A and B are shown apart, each in its own frame.
Chain A
């Protein structure tokens, strides 16, 4: 019997949907075992009300991508929990809050002002910002109300499994689909990951090449030069977060000469990515002057350390 699958995109960008579509032939093969009953708003033509009308616990597997940003997201996530037997938080936003999670450092007023008034392309002399209810002639128009902060979905509902990545690499998605179809799953509440760090799968890693790891003597940001393509980025001073990030991506970024920014999520069991990053980076900097240089070059340390995971920080703003 085919596994009934529902896929919901809430606050995210749709990139995780693309990662599934990127499976191409593998997805076609998997469709033999899957029956897609709901995939809105991106793929299947099923409406929210159709999902609400389905019997409770009738769907075997529910994937949710994107974080909870407004009332509508909050409502739909709860509906998914009601209808699905297993819920997977799919991708960095659903699991950790993702890039939009950095908004938690700002007030909503500031966000609206930047997006609708101050933004370079905005032509908004009256400073109009979205309102939950607005009058248009005789009609009352509504928009989902904006919540006070970004939340990963497990702040609203129970989540059975987590998948990191922004978006998850399609090879990893294939492994996940296979694990789900065959029922080969870890205990509930786990990350679906092979459990290795990005460094473990990165060809630059000095340890894998049998070389000695040196302390970092200067800190550089990505725009301050073109890194050597062979040498470990950390050794060159670029603050790559590979040592503490789940490496299910196969070190995709470092293979194209870009430092790891941590989208894969923290390696279990820790949830606080930023504090772990301080531990790891603090241990490999050569001396305290290098730390001072780092703090000077990254005037907003929080956004560097918690680029994908601020809403999951122990110390929430």
Chain B
């Protein structure tokens, strides 16, 4: 392997907030690392724990889920469900030997383009520090 390792990051973004924030980051010319690949879902409550684990075992080094701020969910309570599942998933992953920092849940609203770029930059740095994910 002569090439230098680049992280592979999956961002699962809710359509109403985090995805709009990514859009906003683009319009406002905030840059964030190209290692982040965005997958759009209708709501962070749509994210099944399988999505995160499938991403990890198929080559992702980190997975970040983006949803609306508490109280802002387009479907009223999807993001609360996401949080409850995420807490349990994180514990499970830790017990199975995955560094808990590889998964992250963040509330980023549609107007927070800057926050989106900052969070992605920060997450990219975290994953670079951890190195590639090995099963």
Measured CB to CB, the residues of A under 8 A from B are 105, 270, 272, 274-276, 278-279, 281-283, 285, 287-288, 290-292, 294-295, 300-302, 305, 313-317
Contact = CB atoms under 8 A, between A and B. Distances in A.
Contact of A313 (B56, B84, B85, B96): B96
Interface string B100-121: 0000000000000000000000
A302 B88 CA distance: 10
Given A272-B50, A278-B49, A315-B96, A301 B56 contact: no
Contacts of B54: 314
14 contacts: A274-B92, A275-B53, A276-B50, A278-B85, A279-B85, A282-B85, A282-B88, A288-B84, A301-B88, A302-B96, A314-B53, A314-B57, A315-B98, A317-B97
Contact of A294 (B83, B88, B93): B88
Given A282-B85, A288-B87, A292-B87, A270 B135 contact: no
A291 B50 contact: no
Nearest to A282: B85
Contacts of A315: 53, 56-57, 93, 96, 98, 135
A189 to B, nearest CB: 19
Nearest to A316: B135
Interface residues of B, number: 23
A272 B93 CA distance: 13
Contacts of A300: 95
Could you say which of B87, B88, B98, B135 has the most chain A C-beta atoms within 10 Å of its C-beta? B88
Nearest to B49: A275
Contacts of B97: 317
Given A275-B89, A300-B95, A314-B53, 12 more contacts: A272-B53, A275-B50, A278-B92, A279-B49, A287-B80, A287-B84, A291-B84, A302-B92, A305-B92, A314-B50, A315-B53, A316-B135
Nearest to B98: A315
Given A275-B50, A302-B96, A283 B87 contact: no
A198 to B, nearest CB: 20
A278 B96 CA distance: 15
A11 B81 CA distance: 39
Contacts, number: 71
B95 A301 contact: yes
B42 to A, nearest CB: 16
B48 interface: yes
Contacts of B93: 315
Contacts of A279: 48-50, 85
B29 interface: no
Contacts of B37: none
Contacts of A105: 95
B84 A283 contact: yes
Nearest to B81: A283
Interface string B44-61: 000011100110110000
A236 B88 CA distance: 20
A294 B56 CA distance: 25
A302 B93 CA distance: 9
A287 B79 CA distance: 11
A222 B25 CA distance: 50
B91 interface: yes
B25 to A, nearest CB: 28
Contacts of A275: 48-50, 53, 89, 92
A81 to B, nearest CB: 27
